[in-house]
Amino acid sequence: MDIAHLHFLVAEADSAQRAALVEMLGRLGASRVTDVPDGHMALRTFQASFTPRLHIAIIDLDLPGMDGLELIRNLATLETGISLIVTGAQPANLLFAVETLAQVYGIDLLGTMSKPVTAAKLKPLLDNYLPPALPEAAAAAHASLRFNFAEVGLGLQQRQFEPFFQPKIELATGQVKGLEVFARWRHPEHGLLGPGAFMDALEQNNRIDFLDWSMIELSVERCRWFHDQGTPIAISINLSPETLGHPAFIRQITACLGRHGVLPDYLTFEMSESSALTSDPNFIERLVRLRMMGFGLAIDDYGTGRSNLQLLARIPFSELKIDRSFVDGASKRRPLGTVLRSCLSLAHSLDRMSVAVGVETRQDWDFLQGLGCTYAQGYHIANPMEASAFPGWLEDWRHFF
């Protein structure tokens, strides 16, 4: 990656190591590097207005005055958009815990490096950097858009919401085995909006079912269209427990499939780990009934909740979707890879399909393939796309493989 246009900050107490890092960045192509010897100066630099702005900060955990952990905490409150690399003399398992901390704070962490820092360690982390897709001011304004319940409801009534589809690939063969549905709002004024703009309003008013049923109806309609185009492909739809728990759910979903001539085999419902693993007998009965009817069931975001393994074994889920936090970068980070292996082993032992979410690089793809994961999805494969774009993408994918 060309880093000549990026502005770096190096925060390192030892003057010799700091100079070595600055020189190393220069050899790798950096043209602007700011360096500071302690945490307080680093924080003031984060708060300052630079042109160009800071893009990547490399900070040592053992900074004087304000150590790396405190600096990370303060950086999280500034919303600077800076990507972070953390260095330290600590053991790998402790550096991995620091990665977890930074991710919890919502910081874009490119990775950690154990000392001594070398160009061979640094360059792969720099390659993880992704520049913002939109101009910064526009991106910030776009991300901050929030709509109230009445506005979201009106958008749903006027059919401004539509499903976008992200392919799910069988790792062993490269074949496209399904599509996951993502809700998008094609707003007449603000363009295409993601869930951040509308989910809060629906959740606060306990009406996620409005969105769920809109996505179910439209997605099944698109599924029929895929069939008619000669591509009978299965779809997966995120479903809230409130929607599934409604007394009329079975009747309504059966009617929906009947309207569009789609069999239950082509539809999988995804539920978060925290909501799906319950001991409520009525909810479990509903899950069993759906499986008996031929629907697929998937536990989404697996690994982020506190699973009851006995319930996990007893509830009839067909897929275990492993959260992206255990997938992205697992090929490079041994502790992350260990957790991923454990999840895949559990899925295999329970005779469930495993789906790795958040596959962002070829390295992640190859790593998952070597571990025997069943399916993969993520930006390395494709972004979520509107239904009309899928046939062309599929043709290109088949040609590629």
Give per-residue pLDDT as tens, 202-258: 999 999 999 999 999 999 999 999 999 999 999 999 999 999 989 999 999 999 999
Q: pLDDT tens digit string along 269-290?
A: 999 877 777 778 888 899 999 9
Which residue stretches of 90-229 are H helix?
92-104, 119-126, 136-143, 149-157, 199-204, 208-228
Q: Is 260 exposed, middle or buried (0-12, 13-18, 19+ CB in 10 A)?
A: middle
Structural domains in the chain?
7-126 (3.40.50.2300), 146-400 (3.20.20.450)
pLDDT value for 274? 76
Number of other CB atoms surrounding residue 203 within 10 Å: 13
pLDDT value for 211? 97
pLDDT value for 7? 93
Q: Which one-letter amino acid corresponds to residue 316? A: P
pLDDT value for 144? 65
Neighbouring residues of 389: CB distance < 8 A, sequence distance ≥ 6: none
Q: pLDDT tens digit string along 374-386?
A: 999 998 899 999 9
Residue 38 has pLDDT above 90, yes or no: yes
pLDDT value for 305? 59
More reliable by pLDDT, 139 or 86: 86
Q: Any idea which of 217-226, 302-311, 344-353, 363-372 has the lowest mean pLDDT?
A: 302-311
pLDDT value for 139? 45
pLDDT value for 312? 77
Closest C-alpha among 377, 345, 382 to residue 364 = 377
Cβ–Cβ < 8 Å for 157, 384: no
pLDDT value for 304? 64
Name the pTM for this structure: 0.73
Residue 388 in tokens: 């009309």
Q: Which residue carries 């009965």 as its tokens?
A: 285
Residue 40 in tokens: 């307080």
Q: pLDDT tens digit string along 86-98?
A: 999 998 878 888 8
pLDDT band, residue 339 (cuts 50/70/90) = confident
Number of other CB atoms surrounding residue 306 within 10 Å: 7
Mean pLDDT of 8-19: 95
